[in-house]
Amino acid sequence: MKTVSMTMLLLVLAACGGGGGSGGGGSNLPGTLQLGSTSYDVTEGAVVNIIVTRSGGSSGIASVDYATADGTAVAGTDYPGMTGTLTYADGVSGNQTISIPITDDNSAEIAETFTVTLSNVSGATLGANSSATVNIINDSAALPITDGNAQEITVAVLDAITSTVDVINILDLIGVPAVAGAYPGIAKVLVMDITVDTIACDTGEATVTWNDADNNLAISTGDTFDVVFAMCFFTDIETTFDGPTSLTNMVVTGDPFNQIAPWGLALTFGFDNLSATDSAGTLVIDGVLDLALSSENNVVVDLSLATASLTAQQSGISATLSDYVLAETVDLNALTNVISASGTFTSTLLEGNVTFETLQDFVVIGDDNPSAGQLLISDISSSVLVTVLDNINVQLEIDIDLDGTIDRTIVVTWTELDLD
């Protein structure tokens, strides 16, 4: 767990690093239409995003029908039955998304399934991945934490917590200059030319609608940004972005962009199934994330992140942070980060959800692993207490029945945890 940066999501802008998707282009072939995966996992009450991709060519208009069909899950009860047609314009390749909300019936039951099938392709070839099975995982089911899965659960939660910080980098990508030096790894680079409202993609395109609330031609309180990426590929980070995002609820105090203290910057990121494709695959982000950055003296910077719900999905695996709050204080002179977090993490990979809460703030010095900190991760029947022993070792104390007695203690190194 280096400084504070890594996955969910996101969990989350792992989206800003990695290897290029297709951007359409000069092929004279019509290409192939197929599903991004043949299996998707989703919890009750969540949304499963089925990816359909056109690759290997983009010549001519292409379309494909899709339809759901019951397995052990029943349309109208467990999920809404859906049919439709996806159309790709001439010269356009890449991903489209079929979003299917799953019903939460609040009853304990075994996992249920339904299928999504592509058919009736026109103007292209139907690929091998023409049908996918969706596995609905009961969110009411208990997720026992044991010595067999405690390390995996710890890694997943720590990844989710730290990865949300990476989303700040999208400020530079969109063209809202982040504060140089205020947070490690953030560079002050103005990407957007405000005179033309575009982002300079290497291929593809992206448009920015800036609502300059007070018409002062400066980023200030009340301004909003709507960004639509259309297979926008950046060579330096080898990533293709596709879909919309927005910046709203902006509050600017002082001059954060020129670091005239005291200053503050707060805003809300909105992600509407924004996809980022790199060498690891396609990450789809959906939800909102509130951000606040402030400093009284340009030495100590306070950061906070919060979301009611933020979901990231990749290769059929979905992860969601809910009721999530992160607070971090960065001391730029001492090169220390002090971090606390709480919330709920749900993952189809873990087949359940856990809550987490920092009992002792995590302390990171320089670019090292945390040297102190304690985090309690629990479900309805079990828990693991994660204690940082030093910048090399981490102790996991597992209570498999929540009776207050530690049933198993494991000591692992940060290297063994293998955080992204």
- pLDDT tens for 87-109 read 999 988 888 999 999 987 655 45
Q: What is the pLDDT of residue 179?
A: 44
Q: Which of 186-190, 202-206, 267-271, 302-306 has the lowest mean pLDDT?
A: 186-190
Contact between 73 and 131 (Cβ < 8 Å): no
Query: How high is the mean pLDDT of the chain?
Result: 81
How many CB atoms are closer than 10 A to CB 414? 19
pLDDT number for residue 110: 52
Residue 171 has pLDDT above 70, yes or no: no
| In a domain? residue 168 | yes
Query: Do 68 and 159 reside in the same domain of the chain?
Result: no
pLDDT band of residue 173 (cuts 50, 70, 90) is low
The more confident residue out of 193 and 273 is 273
Q: Which range (138-152, 269-283, 362-376) has the least confidence?
A: 138-152
Q: How confident is the model at residue 327 (pLDDT cuts 50, 70, 90)?
A: very high
Q: What is the pLDDT of residue 69?
A: 95
Question: Which one, of 259, 244, 266, 341, lies nearest residue 298 by Cα?
Answer: 259
29-38, 254-263, 333-342, 361-370, range with the lowest pLDDT = 254-263
Residue with the larger pLDDT of the pair 180 and 71: 71
Note the pLDDT of residue 9: 31
Least confident piece of the model among 158-167, 191-200, 219-228 = 191-200
Looking at the structure, do residues 189 and 122 belong to the same domain, yes or no?
A: no
Structure tokens at 274: 């924004």
180 and 209, same structural domain? yes
CB crowding 282-295: b at 16 or more within 10 Å, else e = bbbbbbbbbbebbb
Task: Please give the Cα distance from 198 to 204 (Å, whole number).
Answer: 11
In a domain, 4, yes or no: no
Domain enclosing residue 184, as ranges: 150-417
Rounded CA separation 152/419 (Å): 10
**Cβ contact 160:152 at 8 Å:** no
Structural domain count of the chain: 2
207 in any annotated domain: yes
Give the residue from 77, 107, 137 where a domain finishes.
137
Is residue 178's pLDDT more than 70?
A: no
Over range 231-255, report the average pLDDT. Answer: 88
pLDDT band at 46 (very low <50, low <70, confident <90, very high): confident
Say how many C-beta atoms besides its own lie within 10 A of residue 37's C-beta: 17
Residue 214 lies in a domain: yes
In this structure, the chain runs to a length of 420
Average pLDDT (153-166) is: 85
For the whole model, what pTM was predicted?
0.65
Which of 137, 168, 191 marks a domain boundary? 137
Q: Are residues 292 and 265 in the same domain?
A: yes
Looking at per-residue confidence, does 306 or 239 come out higher? 306
Q: How confident is the model at residue 163 (pLDDT cuts 50, 70, 90)?
A: confident
**Are 105 and 171 contained in the same domain?**
no
> Is 59 in the same domain as 156?
no
Q: Which one has a higher pLDDT value, 324 or 239?
A: 324
Residue 280 banded pLDDT, cuts 50, 70, 90? confident
The reply to whether 279 falls in a domain is: yes
Look at 21-30, 51-60, 84-93, 387-396 and tell me which has the smallest mean pLDDT. 21-30
Residue 254's identity, in one-letter code, is: G
Residue 193 has pLDDT above 80, yes or no: no
Beta bridge partners of 310: 287, 321
pLDDT higher than threshold 60 for residue 135: yes
Mean pLDDT, range 230-246, rounded to an integer: 87
Same domain, 52 and 174: no
196: confidence class by pLDDT, cuts 50, 70, 90: very low
| % of the chain with per-residue pLDDT over 70 | 82
- Confidence class of residue 247 from pLDDT cuts 50, 70 and 90? confident
Do 64 and 127 contact (CB within 8 A), yes or no? no
Of 71, 106, 137, the domain-final residue: 137
Are 234 and 108 part of one and the same domain? no
Q: Does 185 lie in the same domain as 118?
A: no
Is the pLDDT at 183 greater than 60, yes or no? Answer: no
Among the listed residues 179, 205, 181, the one whose alpha carbon sits nearest the alpha carbon of residue 192:
205
Sign of CA dihedral 393, 398, 403, 406: negative
CATH number at residue 47: 2.60.40.2030
CA–CA separation, 215 and 229 (whole Å): 25
3-state secondary structure the chain: CCCCCCCCCCCCHHHHCCCCCCCCCCCCCCCEEEECCCEEEEECCCEEEEEEEEECCCCCCEEEEEEEEECCCCECCCECCCEEEEEECCCCCEEEEEEEECCCCCCCCCCEEEEEEEEEEECCEECCCCEEEEEEECCCCCCCCCCCCHHHHHHHHHHHHHHHHHHHHHHHHHCCCCCCCCCCCCCCCCCCECCCCECCCCEEEEEEEEECCCCCCCCCCCCEEEEEEEEEEECCCCEEEEEEEEEEEEEEEEEHHHCEEEEEEEEEEEEEEEEEEECCEEEEEEEEEEEEEEECCCCEEEEEEEEEEEEEEECCEEEEEEEEEEEEEEECCCCEEEEEEEEEEEECCCCEEEEEEEEEEEEEECCCCEEEEEEEEECCCCEEEEEECCCCEEEEEEECCCCCCCCEEEEEEHHHHCCC
State the pLDDT at residue 420: 61
Reported as half-sphere exposure (CB side, CA atoms, 13 A), residue 94 has a value of 28
Kindly state whether residue 316 falls inside one of the protein's structural domains: yes
Report, as an integer, the average pLDDT of 144-160. Answer: 88
User: Are residue 105 and residue 250 in the same domain, yes or no?
Assistant: no
Name, in order, each residue with C-beta under 8 angstroms of 350's C-beta and a sequence gap of 6 or more: 143, 149, 152, 153, 156
Residue 204 and residue 343 in one domain: yes
- Please list the residues that pair with 410 across neighbouring strands: 396
Contact 45, 102 (CB under 8 A): yes
How confident is the model at residue 142, as a pLDDT? 53
Question: In terms of domains, do 87 and 207 share one?
Answer: no
Residue at 12 is within a domain: no
